[in-house]
Chains A and B, each alone.
Chain A
Amino acid sequence: GIQVEQSPPDLILQEGANSTLRCNFSDSVNNLQWFHQNPWGQLINLFYIPSGTKQNGRLSATTVATERYSLLYISSSQTTDSGVYFCAVENSGGSNYKLTFGKGTLLTVNP
């Protein structure tokens, strides 16, 4: 099946700093999503971005499907940005629309 690798696995920032999270995938996809899992376990949709660039406030994401990677940018980080960030993909060759998740990046933003 498709492989999804996220880096870095852990990231510690001071409030106000910027960061870039990376997601590499091993095959073509027709769905790529970024999620933020808060400390209570809730998965929050950040971006649906199988290709191209999107921005939402301090967050933006870029997916280069031909090179099989996606980047999530967080600018001016806040303590509320802490949590785990997951990249998940749906293989375009798959038949059941399942999302395959990476292992996540644990982000800690210190005040």
Chain B
Amino acid sequence: SAVISQKPSRDICQRGTSLTIQCQVDSQVTMMFWYRQQPGQSLTLIATANQGSEATYESGFVIDKFPISRPNLTFSTLTVSNMSPEDSSIYLCSVEDWQTGDYEQYFGPGTRLTVT
């Protein structure tokens, strides 16, 4: 399975600022996704990161708040913009590699964000 790393692993930020989270995979993968896990909650998909084109956002998430880039098949970034305390969550990237013949998703270690 793919090895996924995220940077930073955690951060404490002030409201009104922005944070960019990086997701790096050790091999080329077909699909990359960004999820959010609010405290004590389950995971919710923010968007699908599309290589070379605009991300596909889920209902309730917008590009101005969560801009996403995917310049190649191994790397993606998620920016959390104009942060408020409600953005305090764990942000996780995941990948799905169809070359393996199945649709199993693997997750990175997550970025734990606290907004004060």
Binding site for A on B (CB under 8 A): 1, 31, 33, 37, 41-45, 48, 56, 58, 90, 92, 94, 96, 102-107, 109-110, 112
Report A29 CB to chain B, min CB distance, Å.
10
For residue B1, which residues in chain A have a CB less than 8 angstroms away from its CB?
45
Q: Is the beta-carbon distance between B42 and A98 smaller than 8 angstroms? A: no
Q: Is the beta-carbon distance between B104 and A41 smaller than 8 angstroms? A: no
Q: Is the beta-carbon distance between B102 and A41 smaller than 8 angstroms? A: no
Binding site for B on A (CB under 8 A): 30-31, 33, 35, 41-43, 45, 48, 86, 88, 90, 96-104
Nearest residue, chain B, Cβ from A99: B105
For residue A35, which residues in chain B have a CB less than 8 angstroms away from its CB?
107
Q: Is the beta-carbon distance between B104 and A45 smaller than 8 angstroms? A: yes
Q: Is the beta-carbon distance between B58 and A98 smaller than 8 angstroms? A: yes
Q: Is the beta-carbon distance between A41 and B56 smaller than 8 angstroms? A: no
Nearest residue, chain A, Cβ from B58: A98
Q: Is the beta-carbon distance between A99 and B110 smaller than 8 angstroms? A: no
Alpha-carbon distance between A86 and B106 when the two chains are bound, in angstroms: 13
For residue A98, which residues in chain B have a CB less than 8 angstroms away from its CB?
33, 45, 48, 58
For residue B109, which residues in chain A have a CB less than 8 angstroms away from its CB?
41-42
For residue B96, which residues in chain A have a CB less than 8 angstroms away from its CB?
97
| Sample of 21 A–B contacts (CB below 8 Å) | A31-B104, A33-B104, A41-B37, A41-B90, A41-B109, A42-B107, A43-B92, A43-B110, A45-B107, A48-B102, A48-B104, A86-B43, A96-B56, A97-B31, A97-B103, A98-B33, A98-B58, A99-B43, A99-B45, A99-B94, A103-B42
Nearest residue, chain A, Cβ from B94: A99
Given contacts A41-B109, A43-B92, contact A30 B103 (CB under 8 A): yes
Q: Is the beta-carbon distance between B42 and A90 smaller than 8 angstroms? A: no
